[in-house]
Amino acid sequence: MYLTEYLRGRRVWFKSLPHAPASTASRLAASLHVPGGRVAKAVLVRVGDGERLAVLPATSRIDVVRLAAALRVDPAVVRLATSAELARRFPTCEPGAPPALGSLFGVATVVDRSLDGLEIVFPGHTRQEGFLMRFADFEALESPLRAGFAVPVAAAASRPAPRRRRAG
C-alpha cells in the first residue's frame, strides 16, 4: 500500500515533500531544510520475541535503558533490529526510508515525547519522498506509547570517554 493512499484513506492532513535522495533522517532534514528535531526517524527495535517501532527526532539516539523502562521490560531484551529484520518487516521500503507509521506494517509504535505538538517530517517508503504531518494526526493514526527515551546525539557525543587503566 502506498503511503499517500493510506493517509488519504484515513482523512488526515499531510503534505508530500519530494527531495534529493537521502539515506538517513539527518540527510532528509538537510535536504528539506528542516530542523533535525522536527524530522521523525523510525527505528525498529527488538523487544524479546516482539518488535516495536521507536520514533524519535533525527538529532537523537535511543537510550535503551530508558526505552526498556517505558516498555516495562529488562534492558537486556531490547536491541536494535538487524538489516535483515528491517528488510523483512518493511519489504516495500527502500533501506533507510521506513515511515514512522508502524501500524501500516503491523508494529506497535512508541514515540519520544520531544516530538509532541510539532509538525513532523518523516521518510515515506523511498529515499526521495518525505511527508509533513501534524503530530496530532500522527498520534490519532498510531495511538503510540509516549515516552522519554531519546537522547540528543550532541549530548551523547559530549560525554567524556571512560578512562582506561594502563597496565603495569
Q: Which residues of the chain have pLDDT under 50?
A: 1, 158
pLDDT of residue 16: 85
Q: What is d(CA 82, CA 133) in angstroms, rounded to the nearest whole number?
A: 28
Domain assignment present for residue 23? The answer is yes
Domain assignment present for residue 160? The answer is no
pLDDT of residue 21: 72
Terminal alpha carbon distance of the chain: 62
For 25-39, the pLDDT digits (tens) are 777 777 777 877 888
Q: What is d(CA 121, CA 35) in angstroms, rounded to the nearest whole number?
A: 10
pLDDT of residue 26: 76
Domain that residue 129 falls in: 3-149
Q: Please report, for the domain that includes residue 21, its CATH number.
A: 3.90.960.10
For 62-88, the pLDDT digits (tens) are 999 999 999 999 999 999 999 999 999
pLDDT of residue 63: 97
Domain assignment present for residue 97? The answer is yes
pLDDT of residue 133: 93
pLDDT of residue 159: 53
Domain assignment present for residue 168? The answer is no
Domain assignment present for residue 155? The answer is no
Domain assignment present for residue 40? The answer is yes
Domain assignment present for residue 166? The answer is no
Domain assignment present for residue 35? The answer is yes
Counting the structural domains of the chain, the total is: 1
